[in-house]
Amino acid sequence: MKALLLENPHTDVDPYLVSAGLSVTRYPGALQGEDLIEALQGVTVLGVRSKTQVSADVIRRCPDLRCIGAFCIGTNQIDLAAASNRGIAVFNAPFSNTRSVVELAIAEIIALLRRLSERNRAMHAGRWEKTASGSHEVRGRTLGIVGYGNIGSQLSVLAEALGMHVVFYDKVEKLALGNARRAKSLDELLAVSDIVTLHVDGVSSNRSLFGAEEFAKMKPGAIFLNLSRGFVVDPTALRENIVEGRIAGAGVDVFPNEPNTNDEEFISELRGLPNVILTPHIGGSTVEAQHSIGQFVGTKIARYIMDGTTDLSVNLPRLILEPSQDTRYRLTYVHRNTPGVLALLNQALAEHGVNICGQILGTVAEIGYVITDIASEIPESVIEGITQLPDCIRLRIIDRQGITLDARAGRAF
């Protein structure tokens, strides 16, 4: 079995894949279209980051592909529906760079409250601006966190350790960590926060979540941070509030229009503003995060290849089944989610005297996934029968050594 890794995921990944019986080939950049399709012939596992576009066409024309690892957070570059419909599992690293983002947010909060970027700029220009004016400790300040997910809740813990009061607003019910207090509304949070920081996800309904109206509801002299998604904030409104001095400073890591490469100029109306820290979408960009992403996704791929585990898969039902002592073969079966599939599968096995010693089923939208452990030999005719079932998408049989035999709907081995 072959794995093709594009866009340079961390080298920590390779040993995980090798341990699952894959031979690893790397290509430093992204591949697109026909080049990608050609490179994927005979490849079982594809690893990408954000640039390689894995379209429905690519998936359709690469029949050997069984698993895609996105060595990043987002999976917009992969046609997930097409992958599911071919029984291909997709994995990503949803929280491997959480800590990195949180640390940048903490750094920026302190830097903005101490006006470090201005002091630094003045020093490099030869000016000694020693003053306490406009500089504050973070201790005792109220941090308003909008979006209390992976990043927001981690930030809450670290901010409290620095002596900050935390208030958060999330559109869904969340457990308040430590002494953090849940605000009933965004308005309530804006009214009390000395620092407002956005950590909402990228759903389209969050477009322009934060504009002139929201800035107007913030406390005068408050600090604003956006390390989530560029389209969430109206940059014109932020600029106006900074220029008018209503907002004392801002840290912005994400922008509605970001350059595609380091060679392109960064164009934004936020350039040149006082006490505004601009960073090129590096919230999650640390060596530690890259290492952690490699480890996380590498492990998920290896488990999936070796025993069909889909824990934290982006697109397939998430199943974990520990094999029993009696397990001789494991059957992993991706199918269309229609009533009665499990009964048909088990009937086909029972008719041939095949003994099941463990089984688990999960469904997500139109896709179902069953892992079945078998305690006996599996006759060839059963396999053929199962792949001929009307809702079969993909069948895999894995032996105790983790060796896989693969079959797709309508085609036995």
Any contact of residue 394 with ligand NAI (CB under 6 A)? no
Query: Which residue number has the CB closest to ligand NAI?
Result: 149
Count of residues binding ligand NAI (CB under 6 A)?
30
| Cβ at position 374, least distance to ligand NAI in Å | 38
Q: Which of 16, 71, 169, 304 binds ligand NAI (CB under 6 A)?
A: 169
Residues 74 and 96: their CA atoms lie apart, in Å, by 12
DSSP-assigned beta bridge partners for residue 369: 334, 362
Any contact of residue 144 with ligand NAI (CB under 6 A)? no
Question: For residues 118 and 170, which CB has a smaller minimum distance to ligand NAI in the complex?
Answer: 170
Q: Let me know if 229 is a catalytic residue.
A: yes
Residue type, 280: P
Could you write out the DSSP letters of every residue in 368-411? EEEEEEESS---HHHHHHHHTSTTEEEEEEEETT--EEEEETTB
Which of 15-23, 150-158, 270-278, 301-309 is the region at the interface with ligand NAI (rule: CB under 6 A)?
150-158
Question: For residues 6 and 183, which CB has a smaller minimum distance to ligand NAI in the complex?
Answer: 183
Q: Which of 52, 92, 117, 206 binds ligand NAI (CB under 6 A)?
A: 206
Which of 25-33, 117-125, 144-152, 377-385 is the region at the interface with ligand NAI (rule: CB under 6 A)?
144-152
Any contact of residue 170 with ligand NAI (CB under 6 A)? yes
Q: Which of 217, 281, 303, 352 binds ligand NAI (CB under 6 A)?
A: 281
Pairing of strands 89-91, 67-70: parallel
Q: Which long-range contacts (CB under 8 A, 24 or more apart) does 380-384 make?
A: 380/412, 380/413, 381/352, 382/348, 382/349, 382/352, 382/354, 383/407, 383/412, 383/413, 384/412
Residues 38 and 366: their CA atoms lie apart, in Å, by 30
Q: Let me know if 188 is a catalytic residue.
A: no
Q: Which of 9, 47, 69, 149 binds ligand NAI (CB under 6 A)?
A: 149
Closest by CA to 186, choosing from 155, 161, 211, 221, is 211
Exactly one of 49, 141, 199, 229 is catalytic; which is it?
A: 229
Q: Which of 88, 151, 222, 389 binds ligand NAI (CB under 6 A)?
A: 151
Q: Rounded to 5 degrees, what are φ and ψ at 27?
A: -135, 125
Closest by CA to 54, choosing from 96, 4, 2, is 4
Query: Alpha helices of 209-283 — where are they, by DSSP H?
Result: 212-217, 235-243
Any contact of residue 182 with ligand NAI (CB under 6 A)? no
Which parts of 282-321 interact with ligand NAI (CB under 6 A)?
Answer: 283-284
Binding residues (CB under 6 A) for ligand NAI: these are 73, 95, 97-98, 101, 146-152, 169-172, 199-202, 206, 209, 227-229, 253-254, 281, 283-284
**Residues identified as active-site:** 229, 258, 281
